[in-house]
Amino acid sequence: MPHLHIRSAQPDDIGLIIGFIRELADYEKLSDQVVVDPAQMREHLFGTRPFAEVLIGEVDGAAAGFALFFHNYSTFLGKPGIYLEDLYVRSKARGTGLGTALLGKLASLAIERGCGRLEWSVLDWNEPAIDFYKRLGAQPLDDWTQYRLTGPALHELSQRPV
């Protein structure tokens, strides 16, 4: 049985975190979209006003996965929530229980912080992840469609008069 350990990321982990992000993007066939700047990410994760947090998952003392998350808020519940932006476990560590341990730690943090929910998105084609999430009891939100504004559309909307 492998030894699993979950820890909070530290500023010195930026290179490791970005490496995990690049591996995840490669797995998701989205490598061309990774444009993260290490200094900016360090500020966003560990600066005076952190926007997100990261857990590092280790198997037998070696970093093998991560979870990057941040708080959101449910007006219907009147409580904060945790949104999992990225969850990734290296292929050689899959099946060790590390993914479950990372999500378990996030669930514990959600309870400790008085959150009403833990949520995330998954690509429609990622059947191994979908099956994994369903085995944990997660339910898909089939009646919701996610929207996103980026780049020129985001800037154009920001310039519209009030």
Query: Do residues 82 and 69 touch, judged by C-beta distance below 8 A?
Result: yes
Interatomic CA distance for residues 122 and 57, integer angstroms? 20
Burial tier of 65 (Cβ tally within 10 Å: 0-12, 13-18, 19+): buried
**What pairing do the DSSP bridges indicate for beta strands 118-120 and 79-89?**
parallel
3-state secondary structure of 55: strand
Selecting among 27, 83, 88, 133, the annotated active-site residue is 133
Interatomic CA distance for residues 32 and 18, integer angstroms? 14
Respond yes or no: is residue 133 known to be catalytic: yes
Per DSSP, 58 falls in state E
Query: Do residues 33 and 25 touch, judged by C-beta distance below 8 A?
Result: yes
29 Rama sector, left if φ>0, alpha if ψ -120 to 50, beta otherwise? left
Instruction: Give me the active site residues, please.
Output: 133
